[in-house]
Amino acid sequence: MLFHRKGPFSEDPPNLNSEMHYFTYKRNDLYCENIKVKDLAKEFGTPFYLYSARTISEHFHKIKKAFSSIDPLICYSLKANSNLSILKLLVKEGAGMDIVSGGELYKVKKVNCPAKKIVYASVGKTEEEIEEAVRYGILMFNVESLSELRKLEEVAVRLKKKINVALRLNPEVEPRTHAYIITGKKGTKFGMDRHSVKAVFFQRQEYPHLNIVAIHIHIGSQITQAAPFARAIKKVKSLVDELEIKGICLKYFNIGGGLGIVYDKENPQTADGFARRVMPLLKEMSARIILEPGRFIVGNAGILVSKVIYLKDTPYKQFVIVDAGMNDLIRPSLYEAYHKIIPLVRRKKAENKRQKLVDVVGPVCESGDFLGKDRYLELKEGDYLAVLGCGAYGFSMSSNYNSRPRAAEVLVKNNRAYLVNKRETYKDLVDKEVLI
């Protein structure tokens, strides 16, 4: 194999994750399920995102099976990947949806997600977004502040509705992950402190049009160990015990998402391992549990396929310049995230000795425009590459920077490849602009 981080000549297959996915070599060609990826690159052009429906479905059911004894509501987190065909697939499997914007609400309505399986987070919901969600009849809002609570009460009065509410508690737990995706420690913009949450429950009569029935936590993303989740859940349990003494019982407890996956050398917990650690705590609570997995379900179900445009040698560095850039996949630049990079056609062992240490970079005019640094690869101009682990926070965080059209998205399902999002055109870039 050609992506070994410390040196060349590793021949392990690319199924590197503790959770199974369906990207693998067959006779030196990379396949997605039973379809050769190189054929798709020629058919759809590059760059494009490629997803495995089988991986998505199996990962959802791993979570469902692991927690089956408590029958939780599993709400897929749209922000990870909101492609409509992926959402439709998950809704058919029985998933609910965790949304954070009016646009995401619009999308889940398009795939007919049952309203009572939708929870709505975000620190900055607009009045218009709240109204639309209330009219659709979603299960509940995860409320992040007293100001938002007051706004919800105003909307409920005007619409003559009762609104279900979960209070988002900031449990002040710091998991080991990137600073930008920690959301449950002091100093972040997310949630409310314990004192404020408790005060709202005790003063809930001030919000007669709100059913304050739940507590929500979400401590961060790409968390590979169960311990931070357990600490956060114990803090909620302590608060719930205080509330119950006063006769206040919760209907739901939303433990959020954030389960990590393998990008490089992580050793994340499996769904079963996570469940074994936190279920004893959850079973002590009478509330129904809600989970919000995103990355765990789609992260390793997707790759970014790109073509080598140029090879560039300098006295200091060797570069592989490809047609995908930071506008397509911003995680390496934004988080210094590591994604394994592999060729669509693996060379013979004898040719591996010609591997070079290179940086894989894109065409965007930024020094931060890279997909991977210091990788052992032997490539020619015109070759194709796959960037692994791009199913989550890949296309969903892409942009038109440098006036670059966004990539296509392709889904392999039941031994067929479907174009599920057309490549943007130059016309798409200017259609909404007004020339004066």
Strand order in the sheet with 23-26: 23-26, 29-32, 35-36
DSSP assignment of 122-151, as one string?
-TT--HHHHHHHHHHT-SEEEE--HHHHHH
Report the interhelical angle of 271-282 vs 53-66 (nearest 10°). Answer: 30
Asked if 17 and 261 touch (Cβ cutoff 8 Å), the reply is yes
Is residue 232 classed as helix, strand or coil in its secondary structure? helix
Rounded-to-integer distance, Cα 406 and Cα 404, Å:
6
- Please confirm, yes or no, whether 390 is among the known catalytic residues: no
For residue 408, count CB atoms less than 10 angstroms from its CB and return exposed for 0-12, middle for 13-18, buried for 19 or more: buried
Name the active-site residue from 113, 249, 365, 390: 365
Distances (CA, A) of 286 to 171, 199, 249, 277: 20, 21, 8, 18
What's the chain's Rg over C-alpha atoms?
23
Q: How many residues does the chain have?
A: 436
Q: Are 162 and 214 in contact (CB under 8 A)?
A: no
Amino acid of residue 298 = V
Position 338: which residue type?
Y
Which residues are within 8 A (CB) of 374 and not within 5 positions of it... i.e. 6 or more apart? 5, 357, 358, 359
By three-state DSSP, how is residue 91 classified? helix
The strand pairing partners of 182, in sequence order, are: 220
DSSP 59: H
Q: What amino acid occupies position 424?
A: E
**Do 149 and 130 contact (CB within 8 A), yes or no?**
no
Q: Which are the catalytic amino acids?
A: 365
